[in-house]
């Protein structure tokens, strides 16, 4: 069962129903466009001046290492702009109803800018449209929503990352083999694109078969449990492709516990330069590959500063990736390590 199947509280259902029913009357594109062009115009007319520009950030789940690092980086980069103020980050804890409520609270607080990393797109979309109607610019970070009424989207090229991971699998399994795929939340766009890119790439070798696939929900404990189940029923697995590093590391840990890790290759995504992240796991031979998935924190802070100054920003910012292997892991760790700045 996915998070999408949870019943939302009555108050949230009411908000969503009301928003959907009045969607045509919102004139979303106009509201969004006017805010994109000059959000600071509603202030004292000086393109921001010394006015503090308050930012509310609705995060999907602080417990994921990637998101915890994103939070730290965003706090750091926002502080580099003296007129920006980031309010305490709202943690949805993978709960759609909670995130909708948190976004609505930011709207009621009349923040100058809203940043949203959706837990899942559909439940959060009406709340994002409410922010648009309130003429609050919205930065959608990492995961998409089902509306065009936002100011800018910042995120990685998930299809390309999945494709590169698939090409790595073909390289590691030249004679074919069995692949197990640990997928993120099934309703999210990064998961869909990472899956499709991988599947398109492994078509190059018809003898590579995906013999197991499950929704690991982005978290390590879930992936460990799933991998234990696969191995306990005797599934022959030659390579595990996980949609993020925590799931890849969790699967590797389960395989190591069963004495089978040496016979399986593990591929992850995120490439965080933190002690328990994907780059260290590659250095420690736990993962064969990981792929950098930039947090977008620096780009989000720059976009916020631009909007505070009444400037336009690009509607979509797609961030690149890097394939990380044992050969370049040390270099990449040094390049992306922010421990001296964010702790």
Concatenating the DSSP letter of every residue in 147-173 gives: -S-SSEEEEE-HHHHHHHHHHHHHHH-
Among 16-30, 72-86, 115-129, 304-318, the minimum mean pLDDT is found in 16-30
**Rounded mean pLDDT, 2-19:** 40
Q: Name the DSSP letter for residue 50.
A: T
**Rounded mean pLDDT, 77-98:** 97
Q: Enter the tokens of residue 273.
A: 């330069």
**Rounded mean pLDDT, 25-45:** 39
Give the pLDDT confidence of 46-57 residue by residue, as tens digits: 344 578 999 999
Predicted confidence at residue 10, as pLDDT, reads 42
The H or E element containing residue 281 is: helix 278-283
Residue 21 has pLDDT above 80, yes or no: no
Place of tokens 């003429």: 135
**Rounded mean pLDDT, 16-33:** 40
Q: Enter the tokens of residue 32.
A: 């969004």
Residue 279 has pLDDT above 90, yes or no: yes
Q: What band does 20 get if pLDDT is binned at 50, 70 and 90?
A: very low
- The CA-based angle 280-72-279, given to 5 degrees, is 10
Residue 69 has pLDDT above 50, yes or no: yes
Predicted confidence at residue 218, as pLDDT, reads 96
Compute the mean pLDDT over every residue in the chain, rounded to the nearest whole number. Answer: 89
Give the pLDDT confidence of 160-178 residue by residue, as tens digits: 999 999 999 999 999 999 9
Q: What band does 11 get if pLDDT is binned at 50, 70 and 90?
A: very low
Q: How many CB atoms lie within 10 A of CB 137?
A: 27
User: Distances from the Cα of 191 to the Cαs of 6, 69, 184, 214, 292, in angstroms?
Assistant: 19, 20, 5, 12, 15
Predicted confidence at residue 343, as pLDDT, reads 65
- pTM for this prediction: 0.84
Residue 3 has pLDDT above 50, yes or no: no
How far is the C-alpha of 178 from the C-alpha of 305, rounded, in Å?
48
Calculate what percentage of the chain has a pLDDT beyond 70: 85
Give the pLDDT confidence of 129-154 residue by residue, as tens digits: 999 999 999 999 999 999 999 999 99
């Amino acid at each position: 069962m996915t998070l999408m199947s949870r019943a939302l509280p009555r108050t949230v259902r009411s908000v969503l129903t009301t928003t959907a029913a009045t969607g045509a009357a919102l004139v979303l594109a106009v509201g969004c466009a006017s805010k994109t062009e000059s959000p600071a115009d509603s202030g004292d007319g000086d393109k921001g001046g010394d006015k503090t520009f308050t930012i509310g950030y609705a995060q999907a789940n602080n417990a994921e290492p990637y998101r915890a690092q994103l939070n730290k980086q965003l706090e750091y980069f926002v502080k580099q702009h003296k007129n920006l103020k980031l309010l305490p980050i709202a943690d949805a804890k993978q709960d759609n109803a909670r995130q909708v409520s948190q976004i609505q609270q930011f709207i009621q607080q009349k923040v100058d800018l809203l940043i949203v990393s959706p837990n899942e797109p559909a439940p959060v979309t009406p709340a994002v449209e409410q922010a648009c109607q309130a003429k609050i610019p919205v930065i959608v970070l990492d995961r998409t929503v089902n509306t065009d009424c936002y100011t800018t989207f910042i995120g990685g090229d998930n299809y390309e990352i999945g494709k590169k991971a698939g090409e790595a699998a073909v390289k590691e399994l030249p004679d074919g083999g069995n692949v197990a795929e640990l997928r993120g939340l099934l309703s999210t766009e990064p998961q869909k694109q990472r899956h499709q890119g991988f599947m398109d790439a492994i078509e190059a070798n018809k003898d590579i078969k995906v013999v197991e696939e499950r929704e690991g929900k982005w978290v390590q404990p879930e992936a460990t449990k799933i991998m234990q189940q696969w191995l306990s029923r005797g599934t022959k697995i030659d390579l595990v492709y996980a949609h993020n590093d925590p799931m890849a590391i969790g699967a590797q840990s389960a395989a190591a516990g069963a004495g089978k890790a040496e016979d399986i290759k593990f591929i992850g995504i995120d490439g965080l330069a933190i002690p328990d992240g994907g780059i260290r796991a590659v250095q420690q031979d736990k993962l064969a590959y990981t792929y950098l998935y930039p947090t977008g924190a620096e780009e989000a802070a720059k976009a916020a500063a631009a909007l505070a100054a009444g400037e336009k920003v690009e509607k979509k910012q797609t961030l690149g990736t890097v394939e990380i292997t044992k050969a370049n892991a040390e270099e990449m760790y040094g390049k992306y390590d922010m421990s001296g700045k964010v702790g």
